[in-house]
């Protein structure tokens, strides 16, 4: 049993596999939520999960520190998870199926995955070199770091305005059409997503033992070869994590995209032609204004499901247990 001064939580399971305990805990939570929801008392479930978490922490560890940490942490989980559970439970299956078979929704979902993917790739293509420089350090680095992190605090609608001033009419590239175009949408997404790609990749570079790079150099490899054979492979996981975070951030972007590219035209493979559609968050907002909470909720449910599946798939493919240990 762990003590309050121990370096990490060492859970005793009494010989029961951890996965069984986790599945059992989740199963009890689902049953409790179903009971609370069907009786119209979702607040009771909030109290139940906080109390059950505290009891579980006490049974597994017994230290006051772990019990207090788990109890306080469960309050945040209630704030994050309860709206999600209620959102899923309140969906109308027939309406979700109707939206799932709507060709317009198919285009929105395709654009909602394809556009953010381009933004994530763009962020990584130019973010990885910058992350490597930041990990090594250079004069004026704090100024560059501030510029990289600036999109994290800029209001999203302001980010869209900045894109139009920088790359729109009269901007840096007058020959490139930004307003209402796919290029503009990807630029708006990349503007808000790039910090995640840069910072995650930079942390991966900084975690590498520089003696490995030094050993590569003294054996005759130049800097390009050292990066290709040593630094890059060792930072692959950080790059993938940064790309996933950038993609996820781009999927959720609303303000900047609504300002720069409210509707865009793009090639849609399933139709074999160019079509016009809106980014998923913009489409959900319009559906909410025109059709109300129920219809917009059905579309949001589909977007949430698609995003969750892709996110979990990428996490699974990059996990040590499934890859045999990605560098």
- What element of type H or E holds 309? helix 280-317
Same domain, 75 and 117: no
Say whether pLDDT at 5 is over 80: no
Q: What is the pLDDT of residues 104-131, one digit of tens each?
A: 899 999 998 899 999 999 999 999 999 9
For residue 187, the model assigns a pLDDT of: 94
More confident residue, 10 or 184: 184
Same domain, 169 and 216: yes
As a whole number, the mean pLDDT across the chain is 86
Same domain, 226 and 108: yes
Residue 13 pLDDT class (50, 70, 90 cuts): low
For residue 226, give the CATH number of its domain: 1.10.3720.10
Alpha-carbon distance 285 to 280, whole Å?
9
| Residue found by looking up tokens 């032609």 in the block | 273
Same domain, 115 and 251: yes
Q: How many domains does the chain have?
A: 2
Q: What is the pLDDT of residues 61-106, one digit of tens each?
A: 888 899 999 999 999 988 888 888 889 888 889 999 999 999 989 9
Residue 327 in domain? no
Residue 10 in domain? no
Same domain, 79 and 105: no
Residue 7 in domain? no
Judge contact between 188 and 154, C-beta under 8 A: no
Q: What is the pLDDT of residues 198-219, one digit of tens each?
A: 999 999 999 998 888 888 888 8
Say whether pLDDT at 324 is over 50: no
Residue 183 pLDDT class (50, 70, 90 cuts): very high
Residue 189 in domain? yes
Same domain, 109 and 56: no
Same domain, 68 and 141: no
Judge contact between 129 and 148, C-beta under 8 A: no
Say whether pLDDT at 291 is over 70: yes
Size of the chain in residues: 327
| Residue found by looking up tokens 């409210």 in the block | 262
Same domain, 235 and 180: yes
What domain range is 76 assigned to? 18-90
Judge contact between 163 and 191, C-beta under 8 A: yes
What is the DSSP secondary-structure string of 223-256? HHHHIIIIIHHHTHHHHHHHHHHHHHHHHH--HH
Query: What's the whole-number mean pLDDT along residues 309-323?
Result: 70
Q: What is the pLDDT of residues 216-252, one digit of tens each?
A: 888 888 889 999 999 999 999 899 889 989 998 998 8
- Residues 290, 295, 301: CA angle, nearest 5 degrees: 135
Same domain, 160 and 291: yes
Residue 325 in domain? no
CA atoms within 13 A on the CB side of 32: 18
Q: Name the phi and psi angles at 277, rounded to 5.
A: -155, 175
Q: What is the pLDDT of residues 131-165, one digit of tens each?
A: 999 999 989 899 999 999 999 888 888 999 999 99
């Amino acid at each position: 049993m762990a003590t309050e001064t121990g370096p990490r939580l060492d859970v005793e399971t009494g010989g029961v596999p951890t996965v069984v305990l986790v599945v059992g805990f989740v199963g009890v939570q689902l049953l409790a939520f179903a009971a609370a929801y069907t009786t119209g008392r979702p607040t009771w479930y909030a109290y139940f999960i906080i109390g059950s978490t505290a009891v579980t922490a006490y049974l597994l560890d017994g230290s006051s520190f772990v019990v207090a940490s788990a109890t306080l942490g469960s309050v945040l989980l209630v704030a994050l998870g309860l709206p999600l559970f209620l959102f899923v439970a309140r969906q109308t299956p027939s309406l979700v199926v109707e939206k799932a078979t709507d060709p317009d929704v198919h285009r929105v979902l395709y654009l909602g995955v394809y556009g953010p993917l381009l933004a994530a790739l763009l962020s990584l293509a130019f973010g990885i070199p910058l992350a490597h420089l930041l990990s090594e350090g250079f004069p004026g680095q704090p100024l560059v770091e501030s510029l990289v992190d600036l999109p994290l605090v800029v209001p999203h609608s302001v980010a869209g305005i900045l894109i139009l001033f920088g790359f729109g009419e009269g901007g840096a590239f007058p020959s490139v059409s930004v307003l209402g175009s796919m290029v503009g949408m990807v630029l708006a997404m990349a503007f808000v997503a790039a910090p995640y790609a840069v910072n995650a990749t930079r942390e991966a570079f900084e975690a590498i033992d520089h003696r490995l790079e030094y050993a590569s150099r003294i054996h005759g490899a130049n800097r390009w070869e050292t990066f290709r054979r040593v630094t890059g492979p060792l930072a692959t996981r950080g790059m993938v994590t940064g790309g996933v975070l950038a993609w996820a951030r781009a999927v959720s972007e609303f303000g900047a995209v609504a300002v720069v590219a409210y509707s865009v035209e793009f090639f849609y493979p399933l139709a074999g032609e160019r079509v016009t559609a809106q980014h998923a968050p913009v489409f959900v907002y319009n559906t909410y204004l025109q059709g109300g909470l129920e219809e917009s909720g059905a579309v949001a449910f589909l977007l949430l499901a698609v995003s969750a599946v892709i996110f979990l798939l990428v996490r699974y493919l990059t996990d040590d247990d499934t890859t045999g240990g990605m560098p």
